[in-house]
Structure 1
Amino acid sequence: MTSSIPQAQPPPESPRLPLWRWRRNPLLRPADRLQGWIGLFLLVAVAAAAPAAMCAAGETAHRHYERIAHHQARVRHHVPAVLVHDVPRHPEPGSAEARETLYPAEVRFTDSGGHTRTAETAVEPGLSANSTVHIWADADGTPTDPPLEADRIRSRSMGWAALAGVAVVASGAAAYRLAGLALQRRNLEAWDRAWAETGPRWTTSVE
């Protein structure tokens, strides 16, 4: 009786050390060296593409938000409004924190059509009812946010630049991972074919 051929087992994976695919090794497969070249190519490509993508994304976003800011500056304007209720006082009046703290308050104003409207806006602490404040409104008289300022444009542009850099790095890592999986599948198929030829020679016949 002839014993069955044992199932093929892939060779143990090489240690995941930096640049191990470039070391001299009699067991190094062509696919391992190819994966090393792919990794090197992707590393250089990502290093070159990431800064370029970040600059392009940052400049594009900056121009986009500048156009938005210019449009907002044309259609938005300050409107005088009157506080409906007293605004709470800050626990530390006169402090630096009090100067930077704003409280939500209900205000009453007249829109461009002559209609009296109410809205909620952020005002300084300690103001009394019937005090006059200014709010931002659009062409229809609807309360809105102020036009984009330079620091907000800059922060948003930097955010898009960082996102572009992360996208390039992630794409490079994904490409390397997919290439590694494809080469691993190819190695396993080659191993199965080699074992199918060699395995029968290792079997013994028992009568």
Structure 2
Amino acid sequence: MAGDTPRAQPPPPDPDPGGHHPHLLFWRWRRNPLRRRTDRLHAWIALGLLLAVPAVAAAAMLAVGDTAYRHYRSAAEHEARTRDHRAAVLVHDAPRHPEPGSDEAKKARYPVEVRFPGPGGETRTGKTDVEPGLPADSTVLVWVDSAGEITDPPLTAEQIRSRTMGWAILAFLGVAVMGLAAHGITGLVLQRRNLAGWEAAWAVTAPRWCRLP
């Protein structure tokens, strides 16, 4: 209708949001009639995140890695003190591999019940993984904890390094993801603010443009 005010159109999008063209990469820093205050604010926030996130991520990686290393090293030392190797005897034959002599058979292990001496010298039973085809009464070595239960061997130096590195990488990636999320949320909030300001300005300007002669 003649008296209706047309809806405001959104402000022009970023010339190059992906930053693929070098001459448009820093457009928010240059003076131009289309640059808004929020554009400059967004640029400052992006620069701050670009400088802060790598430093914080590196610090988090070192801190978490050091904490994880201390934890796993302490756990390995405790396991080495409280676990020991003991001879165990198979109660029955271990299952045979369907392809004896193959590479797969050399790596395969089957859980078999075994007998072994407990902390007080009593006979205990449990299950451990053994090579396929071992006959009953064969002797194998098992790791036993302070409670007399079959358990895993103490952590090795390689396992400590691997787990420490895993936690350190997770810490670095976590900070990086939070930085990206902060940048995205900031851009969304500023974009909504732009749209609200554009709508308010258009409500004042549109009647003068749409007035009939």
For the criterion TM > 0.5, the same-fold answer is: yes
Partner Cα distance (1:40, 1:16) in 2: 15
Normalised to the residue count of structure 1, the TM-score between the two structures is: 0.87
Deviations 1:127-185 (A, max 9, x none): 21101112111111011111111111111001000100101101110111121122112
Partner Cα distance (2:39, 2:149) in 1: 65
1:16 matched residue in structure 2: 17
Partner Cα distance (1:140, 1:204) in 2: 91
Q: 1:7 Cα shift?
A: 1.8
Letter of the 2:38 partner, please give it.
A
Q: 1:113 Cα shift?
A: 3.6
- Among all aligned residue pairs of Structure 1 and Structure 2, give the percentage whose two residues are the same amino acid: 55
Q: Which range moves more in the overlay, 144-153 or 82-91?
A: 82-91
Instruction: Provide the alpha-carbon RMSD of the alignment.
Output: 2.3
Deviations 1:93-119 (A, max 9, x none): 3x7665544332221223224443321
For structure 1, the 5+ residue unaligned runs are none
| Matching residue within 177, 185, 188 for 1:170 | 177
Letter of the 1:34 partner, please give it.
L
Partner Cα distance (2:107, 2:165) in 1: 25
| Matching residue within 9, 30, 39 for 2:37 | 30
| 1:41-52 equivalent positions in 2, closer than 5 A | 41-52=48-59
Letter of the 1:22 partner, please give it.
F
Partner Cα distance (1:51, 1:179) in 2: 23
Q: Secondary structure at the match of 2:33?
A: coil
For structure 2, the 5+ residue unaligned runs are none
1:151 aligns with 2:158: yes
Partner Cα distance (1:70, 1:201) in 2: 81
Partner Cα distance (1:154, 1:195) in 2: 61
| Matching residue within 100, 103, 107 for 2:110 | 103
Partner Cα distance (2:26, 2:148) in 1: 69
Q: Which range moves more in the overlay, 63-72 or 74-83?
A: 74-83
Q: Secondary structure at the match of 2:152?
A: coil
Do the aligned residues in 1 keep the contact of 2:11 with 2:194 (CA within 8 Å)?
no
1:6 matched residue in structure 2: 6
Do the aligned residues in 2 keep the contact of 1:21 with 1:32 (CA within 8 Å)?
no
Q: Secondary structure at the match of 2:180?
A: helix
